[in-house]
Structure 1
Amino acid sequence: MKQYDPKAIETKWQNYWDEHETYKAHEDFEKEKFYALVEFPYPSAQGLHVGHPRSYTAIDIICRKRRYEGQNVLFPMGWDAFGLPTENYAIKHKIHPAKVTEDNVKNFKRQLKSIGFSFDWSKEINTTDPEYYKWTQWIFLQFFKRGLAYKAEMPINWCTSCKVGLANEEVVGGKCERCGSDVVRKVKSQWMLKITEYAQRLIDDLDDVDYIERVKTQQKHWIGRSEGAEINFGIEDSEDIITVFTTRPDTIFGATYMVMSPEHPYIKKYEDRIENLEEVYAYQEESKKKSDFERTELVKEKTGVPLKGLHAINPITNKEIPIWISDYVLMGYGTGAIMAVPAHDTRDWEFATKFDLPIIPVIEGGDITKEAYTDTETGIMINSEFLNGLEVKDAIEKMAEEVEKREIGHKKINYKLRDWVFSRQRYWGEPIPIIHCKKCGQVPVPEKDLPVILPEVENYEPTHDGESPLSEMTDWVNTTCPHCGGPAKRETDTMPQWAGSSWYFLRYLDPHNNEEIADPEKIKYWMPVDWYNGGMEHTTLHLLYSRFWHKFLYDIDVVPMNEPYAKRTSQGMILGPNHEKMSKSRGNVINPDDIIEEYGADTLRCYEMFLGDFEKSAPWSDNGVKGCRRFMERVWNLQNILNDSEEYSKELESNIHKTIKKVSSDYENLKPNTAIAALMSLTNDFNSLGKISRKDLKTLLILLNPVAPHITEEIWEINNLGGVLSDAKWPTYSEEKTIDDVIEMPVQFNGKVRFTIEISKDATKEEANAKACENEAYETYTEGKKIVKEIFVPGKIYNIVVK
């Protein structure tokens, strides 16, 4: 028998699968379907890292098993290829983003094929392909025509050097991640999508899907539904009001000051009354240097400035209270102002303590101190006039009613979710299909003229004024209005990277359809996605955005179902050998090419699945990789003990049935590590027995194939086990053959287990007693005592009651 040579074997079978289109999904609408989806990668210049295969292999295992069980499986792959990293790389290396993307995709595809995934490559998509983004633009136009896409003035993170807007994650310590220059807040006109219109549905419909609980929790937390009241605080000697939203109107008697966002328009309006204007201006400038995330999530110490000379009026007590500005209040969230109740809110307490502001407890025993803090969701109201003596829940309702009765506000449901900022002043993105006409305003590009092609530019660096590089392409920008025929200009902002990934699962169904997103019959058959797996880092924004887009398409009758994904799971990260997150800066990145070169793709796949609990992070171990390679070799060497029998080896028949049952269950429950452990154990059993039948080997190879497809196909072919393995059927097991004839039965004395006995599962009480009497411990628990009762449950337990 020849030696195990993964390089030769793996290339051979990858070519075979390509030539025979082994994994192509069939348009057989009568067959039971299974649509499996993994997050399509961003094709970076660095190529795949070993984190990608962990997600892909787990779902590949499910897909391979489901094909053997007779299902029509769609398992597609494509490229999320627009976006900032490619643009940055292109600018740095003076290579056009299209060329960078083309090269990166080639490399990624080579790597994916080298790992042996059963993707249907006939469904391949690329978000930068005009055939694809034509439909991204079409969806935007449907949003626009229905009033869900609009332009608004929005504060953005602005790099003073790069002259571009930055996402929150691109701002580190108030500096641009790319160049290290200061980042400030700048107001800019941006395209917005009205995702807030769908906020409640995005919460409610989570009840209809099979998502792991922490994913549902993250979705709900991001949307942030809260019930409460909007209350209007007057400004002293003014007709103006400051509206706040609060979930706890009952605590208004404890509101001792107000806090407004540094960007609040009242600061400008009341400049003539603010006595410390220079101090306020200075604070505003400092606030501009922080991202929203830094202001709300990372803040360690409260900062703020009083608006001296300006006071608010508590509408319930009619008392004056000071107004402060602080950067922990954001203009884009809620109303841009809060009423501060420092006795019962940790954030407000820290602020009040630092600046020596009044603290008035209004819930008995519920005030915050450094020593103790009791739950303010319950308790009795104090210092609150007509609320005194009420339980908190009753006080909340009474005060909400009082607010409406006095006409100083109203009950309200609020969401933390904000409308989606949908435009970027970048080059490498989908052009927004809008034309600006002085006479007609914002005019949609006619659908017949889609796609609006991203033009070739010589210079794709940001402009001096922060507009998109497209703004300098006058030949492209200048056009005619589709309504009036007069001179007009194209929109020069492009879409964010999130756009193409918000509906890609639909395009996989019909990637070359030029007439519609996809054939309605194909959508009806394949959707929803049966199983979607991806990183936990994408279970908030990406998942939320794509659910939003899908619901919108449902509302306009493009898709017949309300939710895109029936099931969503997530994998843990693979950490570096030093237990830290893999990154180039830490020097701990593992390249899958290197592992395949030295050990083979099947070893890589096996190791990534054997690494531990799939949902948890785990460090990379070279010794673990070597252990999986040894397992591959043990499987290969089983050919040395193969006999001609077409029946299961009698000595291991029970073990084989148990293994089929366990592996089948473990694969479906994302427990490939324990499935592989069972296959390792069965392989050892065959070696210990010194023989393996053809039927034994067939079953082992089919069970192992989803993890290690190349070696199993090769062994199958070498030994003429019947056609090719990929055409085989998943093995079945007999339940009765998974039950051991001999079991370990616990023996109890007065209800406490003292030892166990090995006994036939069908043994009688008398046989159990005889076996128990042979144990040395039996005499210890019966000597000098009387047996008053024996409780015997066949196959379960033997309890002896003594006194």
Structure 2
Amino acid sequence: PVFTTRPDTLFGVTFLALAPEHPLLAQVTTAAQAAAVEAYVAQARRRTEIDRLSTEQEKTGVFTGGTAVHPLTGAAVPIWVADYVLIGYGSGAVMGVPGHDERDYAFAQQYGLPIVEVVSPDGAVTETSTCYAGEGVLMHSARYSGMESAAGGAAIVAELASAGKGRPQVTYKMRDWLISRQRYWGAPIPIVHCPTCGAVPVPPADLPVLLPETDDFVPAGDGRSPLARIATWVNTTCPQCGGDAQRETDTMDGFACSSWYFLRFANPHYADGPVDPEALRRWLPVDVYVGGAEHAVMHLLYARFWTKVMYDAGIVSFTEPFPHLRNQGVLHAVDGQRMSKSRRNVVTPDEVIARYGTDALRAYVLFLGPFDGDVIWDERGIVGVRRFLDKFWRLAQEFEAKAQEGKVAAADEGFERGRQRVIRQVTQDMARFRFNTAVASLMAYLNELIAWQERPVAAAQWRQAVESFAVLLAPICPFITEEVWQTVLGHTDSVHQQSWPVYDEALAAAAEVTVVIQVNGKVRERLAVPVDVDEAVLRETAVAQPTIQRFVNGRAIRQIVVVPNRLVNIVVD
């Protein structure tokens, strides 16, 4: 069979190409072409797949002398052997459509094969010296001319299927995983090589095979694993016949262990098997996996393979290890370049912590921008976050002082609405991984509390507000919140053991507005704030936004114009 991802181009086939390793190659090769084909196959075997697939290498091939019958037109189609066709892709046989595939086009030009245009962006014949690889409208395709690529391709497949000449087929770009490595560090491959019985698996009762202790684990340069030098470990008996045998000295690829570590984490002390079924039921599958996108085609893929195999073996009860995946963005230096050791532009956390504290660093990293977005590190922005934490500390202390003085008043519903709103906002933001807006909401609420300081509010309400603030901020800034909780508020337990605040929807549903934030008249940010929020609160919250900080860029702020419920315009030099 011939595999193609573009059935809409079937009428453009002018040759077939077989991989040099194709099992039918000898059958389709004529006697007159046999010597040339054999010589070409021998030459192709000496080339790597990377060379064969390179777009910069000249396309080579040999005509086999054989022909195939076009399934729709009945025309004779010449069969070639070409090393740009790989036996591991599809069926190892491809239809050559030089009008719509760049490699086929280069091959056809090299050997003077016909080039037929059967797909055009607008259905019109074009005069071009290159191929068109996109989709479009079919032409020169008999009864299918004038159809869009998707519809035409589906109709062609349907006709082939009804005639027994083809069928839809899903193929996967997967190959056998070569896991053997010639190094000491790795899981030993549990195989014993016996001169009589061949390769024999180590019995389950003797698993796992452990690495021998040695100081000599440096590769010798002869291509063998360092384990091959440890005769006392290598020499063993055959589990099948009891004769002399040798252990496999290659070890497994690191992914063989890292692909299922999370299953073992549920109970690393379990001794009756690879995983503890009871612990798995409690802890797995992983609720949310947070990792970089660079893991998608390696670790995450292998972990899925491994989990599915263990499911088939009855070891685990689920087929997907990570139901939810979140990829964090990339941190860039202030000049916009990606941080890397080679560029020597990385930020050392210890140095930042020494200047501003751990909590300020944690909050600033989350405040920089969306969790999955690329962000720019600018240390000037962390100064504002540190001021925010200092203000929280002072507010908590001043509240306690006032409470001790007995300054109390009646409960205020407006004050309570603010608390309910921030609980709702932070709760929703946390659940959606919008940590930057959660921090922004806490900043805005802190400014709101500061504005309330000179107004009569019941001490119980104040204490509830400060306690709620501490609990909401605790996952982001665990140290200052614990200090406030115990040292200032006088609790003996931990802030991290408290229940998450629950908001009252009726009170939290007070109207909000989106305020436009401008720098020198240009829109730079939008911010959701309560209706009629205090202007001083709005000014401070607007200036604190990382986006605004970047555009202000250390310049002096000459004026801040506030249009209530509409916009804030920050005028800088």
The reply to whether TM is greater than 0.5 is: yes
Which residue pairs with 1:446 in the alignment?
Answer: 203
Q: Residue type of the partner of 2:13?
A: A
Aligned to 1:257: 15
Secondary structure of the residue aligned to 1:571 is coil
Cα distance in 1, alignment partners of residues 144 and 246 from structure 2 = 60
Closer/same/farther in 2, CA of residues 656 and 487 from structure 1, 3 Å limit? same
SS of the equivalent of 2:3 reads: strand
Contact 2:193 2:199 in 1 (8 A): yes
Q: TM (normalized to structure 2)? A: 0.75
Residue 523 of structure 1 corresponds to: 280
Select 1:684's aligned residue among 447, 468, 481.
447
* Conserved? CA contact 1:426–1:493, under 8 Å: yes
Q: Deviation digits for residues 104-159 of structure 1, max 9, x if unmatched?
A: xxxxxxxxxxxxxxxxxxxxxxxxxxxxxxxxxxxxxxxxxxxxxxxxxxxxxxxx
Alpha-carbon separation, structure 2, partners of 1:725 and 1:253: 71
Shift of 1:485: 0.4
Q: Does 1:543 align with 2:543?
A: no
Residue 427 of structure 1 contacts residue 460 of structure 1 at CA under 8 Å; is this kept in 2?
yes
What is the deviation of 1:332?
Answer: 2.9
Matched to 2:488, the amino acid is N
Cα distance, 1:475–1:265 mapped onto 2, change above 3 Å: farther
Corresponding position: 1:245 with 2:20:
no
Give matches, 1:363-382, under 5 Å.
365=123, 369=128, 373=132, 376=135, 379=138, 382=141
SS for the counterpart of 2:181 is coil
Q: Which residue of 2 aligns with 1:222?
A: none
Asked if residue 594 in structure 1 is aligned to residue 351 in structure 2, the reply is yes
In 2, Cα distance between equivalents of 1:279 and 1:605: 60
Alpha-carbon distance, 1:389 to partner: 9.0
Partner residue, 1:83: none
Between the two proteins, the alignment pairs up a number of residues equal to 490
Answering whether residue 517 of structure 2 is matched by residue 727 of structure 1, we say: no
Is contact 1:366-1:375 (8 Å) kept? no
Quick one: distance in 2 between partners of 1:649 and 1:721? Answer: 24
Query: Residues 307-322 of structure 1 correspond to what in structure 2 (within 5 A)?
Result: 307=62, 310-316=64-70, 317=74, 319=76, 321=78
User: How many angstroms does 1:713 deviate by?
Assistant: 0.1
Residue 423 of structure 1 deviates from its aligned partner by 2.0
The reply to whether residue 564 of structure 1 matches residue 325 of structure 2 is: no
- For 1:694-744, what per-residue CA distance to the aligned partner results, in whole angstroms no more than 9, with x for missing partners? 222111111100100011001111123423212222112222222438989
User: Contact conserved, 1:249 with 1:399, CA < 8 A, in 2?
Assistant: no
Aligned partners of 1:268 and 1:624: how far apart in 2? 70
Q: 2:157 maps to which residue?
A: 396
CA distance in 1 between counterparts of 2:25 and 2:153 reads 35
The one-letter code sitting in structure 2 at the alignment partner of 1:336 is: G
Do structure 1's residue 306 and structure 2's residue 61 form an aligned pair?
A: yes
* Separation in structure 1 between the aligned mates of residue 80 and residue 245 of structure 2, nearest angstrom: 46
1:484 to 224, 232, 241: 241
Sequence identity percentage: 38
Distance 2:220 2:363 in 1: 49
Aligned counterpart, 1:499: 256
Q: How does 1:60-459 map to 2 (within 5 A)?
A: 231=1, 244-248=2-6, 251-261=9-19, 273-274=35-36, 277=39, 281=43, 287-288=47-48, 291=50, 299-301=54-56, 303-307=58-62, 310-316=64-70, 317=74, 319=76, 321=78, 323=80, 325-327=82-84, 329-353=85-109, 356-362=112-118, 365=123, 369=128, 373=132, 376=135, 379=138, 382=141, 391-402=152-163, 404=164, 412-459=169-216
Which residue number corresponds to residue 771 of structure 1?
none
Contact 1:381 1:389 (C-alpha < 8 Å) held by counterparts = no
CA shift for structure 1 position 466: 2.4
Aligned residue in 1 for 2:566: none
Q: Is the 8 A contact 2:369 2:436 kept in 1?
A: yes
Contact 2:8 2:138 in 1 (8 A): no
Amino acid at match of 2:265: Y
CA distance in 2, matches of 1:246, 1:714: 66
Decide whether aligned partners of structure 1 residues 305 and 636 sit closer, same or farther in structure 2, where only a CA change above 3 A counts.
same
How far apart are residue 412 of structure 1 and its match?
Answer: 4.0
User: What is the root-mean-square deviation in Å for CA atoms of aligned residues?
Assistant: 3.6
How far 1:649 sits from its partner (Å)?
6.3
- Which amino acid is the alignment partner of residue 684 of structure 1? N
Task: Give the direction of change, closer, same or farther, for the CA distance of 1:717–1:258 in structure 2 (3 Å limit).
Answer: same
Provide, for residues 566-610 of structure 1, a one-character-per-residue CA deviation record: whole Å limited to 9, x for no partner.
Answer: 322221122233322222211112222222232222112111111
Q: Relative to structure 1, is the Cα distance of residues 627 and 303 closer, same or farther in structure 2, using a 3 angstrom cutoff?
A: farther
Residues 539-688 of structure 1: pairs in structure 2 closer than 5 A: 539-642=296-399, 643-644=402-403, 652-688=415-451
- 2:464 matches 1:695: yes
Contact persistence 1:659–1:682 (CA under 8 A): yes
Q: How far 1:667 moved relative to its partner?
A: 0.5
Measure the CA separation in 1 of the matches of 2:429 and 2:167.
53
Q: CA 1:264–1:630 in 2, change beyond 3 Å: closer, same or farther?
A: farther
Alpha carbons of 1:508 and 1:475: their partners in 2 closer, same or farther (altered >3 Å)? same
Structure 2 CA distance for partners of 1:742 and 1:550, relative to 1, 3 Å: closer
Distance in 2, matches of 1:311 and 1:555, equals 47
CA distance in 2, matches of 1:268, 1:627: 75
Is the alpha carbon distance of 1:346 and 1:396 closer, same or farther for their aligned partners in structure 2, counting shifts above 3 Å?
Answer: farther
**CA offset at residue 313 of structure 1?**
1.4
Alignment match, 2:553: none
Alpha-carbon separation, structure 2, partners of 1:759 and 1:338: 65
- Within 1, Cα distance between the matches of 2:342 and 2:507? 54
Q: Secondary structure at the match of 1:246?
A: coil
Quote the Cα distance in structure 2 between the aligned partners of 1:739 and 1:425.
64
Pick closer, same or farther for the CA change 1:647–1:480 going to 2, 3 Å: farther
Counterpart-to-counterpart distance in 2, 1:741 and 1:567:
33
Note closer, same or farther for the CA distance 1:611–1:351 as it changes in structure 2 (3 Å cut). Answer: farther
TM-score (norm 1): 0.55
What is the alpha-carbon distance in structure 1 between the residues aligned to residue 364 and residue 14 of structure 2?
60
Shift of 1:613: 1.0
Residues 736 and 251 from structure 1, CA distance in 2 versus in 1: closer, same or farther, beyond 3 angstroms? closer
Q: 1:742 to 1:447 in 2, by over 3 A?
A: closer
Amino acid in the other structure paired with 2:237: T
Structure 2 residue 483 is the aligned partner of structure 1 residue 714: yes
Separation of aligned partners in 2, 1:459 and 1:628: 52
The change in CA–CA distance for 1:572 and 1:378 in structure 2 (over 3 A counts) is same
Deviation string 1:621-675 (CA, Å, 9 cap, x unpaired) is 2112222222222222223421326997655322221111000000010000000
Alpha-carbon distance in 2 for matches of 1:722, 1:550: 45
CA distance, structure 2, for counterparts of residue 671 and residue 727 of structure 1: 23
**How far does the alpha carbon of each residue in 1:272-329 deviate from its partner, in whole angstroms, 9 at most, with x for none?**
6228958983x765x43x74xx865xx554531232x6344123346352625344x3
2:343 is paired with a residue whose SS is: coil
Q: CA deviation at 1:424?
A: 2.0
What is the letter of the counterpart of residue 698 of structure 1?
E
Cα displacement (A) at 1:348? 2.6
> Per the alignment, do residues 523 and 447 of structure 1 end up closer, same or farther by CA in structure 2, a change over 3 Å counting?
same
Inter-partner Cα distance in structure 1 for 2:322 and 2:381: 34
| 1:40-51 equivalent positions in 2, closer than 5 A | none
